[in-house]
A and B are shown apart, each in its own frame.
Chain A
């Protein structure tokens, strides 16, 4: 399904786990585009970059388009250099998650990632005029705003992508909360985030599951699932639908959403098949409905 995409792995998975993951995705997942790259922490990249050429080649052999994603937080010199290098890459599109990446992009085609603040069509139009060809929208946008942005995108001839599965990114920081939980700082973290391949759960003092920590990033406890909203999004003109990799059977998740997008199954059947995958967290679609992001609306009210 060409319009189904796989977002970058945001957690710190071991290199061999990533290689195996992408091999399976390449061979079996019905996705059109795979975003590859480190978005959260520049310290992780030395472990990942050596495998990129092989992973890219494998994915492209499997018929997937590869887009290189990039850092959302750019402060240190090495992070600035890293971002500049990615933006200068030839042969693959680049997804920019920080304004720093726009400085020298020089009108070359590029994608705007979901961690950039694109909330209105004025901003979209401005960036499209400078080479942006595709916009992944912030996860907190309600349906009405997505509709307006999708319409604007159609008018501009740019892609508009919405996250339909996976944890919602709620905040990023310069401080590493994974390190902090273990009494360390970002500089001496010893890569403790590797212990939590689906993120570190944070509960309230009364025991409520609340948030998920991933290095400098804070995510929802719940997995966003916009399964029931697929038809509405297609009707609005949303062009692409993103699955964020979680530590579950992502090939099965991709098959379910591909079947939804192809109108082969309805929302209820998709719900049943998703439930059978035993997700470690509840689903939510509150942001889409303009309500508390943590809530779930629709056929199965919470």
Chain B
């Protein structure tokens, strides 16, 4: 049985150290600017921190994957070039890229550093994946979270590169890299600035009856009764009215987390090479719990034992979890 790589989020240097200690095979992280898709306030690495963190990870036997996975706009390309060059200087093990121009730059200037295709490139067919593999030498694709396990198994047979799938964390349902919802509402772009439903535009408005409405800029995203669990006002996790839905409903998705701990053996058997835990914006405590749990689970599976699946529910958004598209086509 092939040993899948456990790829873990590192939003801060402390989280990176935590992930390494908890048994991550690889960590993924980004610089403090728009070059990566988790450009949140107070998160990510300065150049010095990145350099020290790469050294620390390598000393612990962990690889570092640098996320450069947003789309530079004309006139700003230098920021992405600098990020790539710095990452190369610091010795990162791979770049996670979505933009064709950035992929081309990596291939041309750092041909010896692995190129991984970000989920932001939304490559969901063998044709799309083979295109990136052929044109840029992509060695691994992070699959969009929209395929069933049998579909992944079939796809694995038709592509020349490795497969990485998400197994835990925040569930992204819009085709990644093609979502302008945040820009429509706030003026900051997910694809260009690396932000999604940014905190700066979040408002929690307490109503006189004790309920709370959550707002992103001018739009109400959801409303909660005094005893209801509230959530962060991510646009695609809100509740809305449709003509045939007079009661507000989750038009896109409920605030729910992906948890594929029950599908790990099936995913390994389908040919998945790496498991990705989502959550660079989450805390060290989350990283420690999630990474430790999946480290134990993967090791158990490889040893031919039943994995003991820790209850990760408390770490999930909305305290609910799903196996999403991986389990069934009915998710679509």
Contact = CB atoms under 8 A, between A and B. Distances in A.
Interface stretch (B9-17, B244-252, B258-266): B244-252
B86 interface: no
Interface residues of B, number: 73
B71 interface: yes
Contacts of B100: 117, 122-123, 126-127
B148 to A, nearest CB: 11
B320 interface: no
Interface in B209-259: 213, 217-223, 236, 238-245, 248-249, 251-253
A172 B131 contact: no
Interface stretch (B42-50, B176-184, B279-287, B300-308): B176-184
A200 to B, nearest CB: 6
A145 B73 contact: yes
A21 interface: no
Nearest to B201: A292
Contacts of B125: 74-75, 79-80, 98, 100
Contacts of B181: 170-171, 211, 218
B150 interface: no
A81 to B, nearest CB: 10
B156 interface: no
Contact of A210 (B179, B219, B253): B219
Interface residues of A, number: 72
B189 A172 contact: no
A120 B74 contact: yes
Contacts of A168: 180, 184
Contact of A203 (B177, B191, B241): B241
A75 B146 contact: yes
- Pick from A117, A203, A206 the residue with the most CB of B within 10 Å: A117
A45 interface: no
Contacts of B330: 185, 187
A201 B242 CA distance: 6
A213 B252 CA distance: 10
Nearest to B179: A171
B180 A140 contact: yes
A220 interface: yes
B246 to A, nearest CB: 10
B178 A117 contact: yes
Interface stretch (A12-20, A48-56, A175-183): A175-183
Contacts of B183: 140, 287, 292-293
Q: Chain A at the B interface: mostly helix, strand, loop or mixed? A: mixed
B187 A144 contact: no
A206 B124 contact: no
Contacts of B21: none
A120 B187 contact: no
A187 B186 CA distance: 34
A290 to B, nearest CB: 7
B144 A174 contact: yes
Given A75-B124, A204-B240, A181 B251 contact: yes
A185 B148 CA distance: 15
Interface string A98-136: 111111100000000001010111110111000000000
A200 B251 CA distance: 11
A173 B236 CA distance: 11
B239 A205 contact: yes
Nearest to A140: B180
A59 interface: no
Contacts of B75: 120, 144-145, 148
A142 B193 CA distance: 13
Contacts of A185: 329-332
B147 to A, nearest CB: 7
Contacts of B239: 205
Given A181-B242, A202-B240, A99 B128 contact: yes
A103 B223 CA distance: 46
B179 A117 contact: no
A40 to B, nearest CB: 12
Given A201-B243, A205-B220, A205-B248, A170 B175 contact: no
Contacts of A254: none
Interface string A189-204: 0000000000011111
Given A101-B127, A170-B181, 15 more contacts: A74-B128, A120-B99, A122-B77, A122-B100, A123-B99, A140-B180, A140-B189, A142-B73, A173-B252, A201-B242, A203-B241, A204-B220, A205-B248, A208-B218, A290-B187
14 contacts: A99-B132, A119-B74, A122-B102, A152-B74, A168-B180, A170-B180, A170-B181, A171-B178, A180-B252, A204-B238, A208-B218, A210-B219, A292-B187, A293-B180
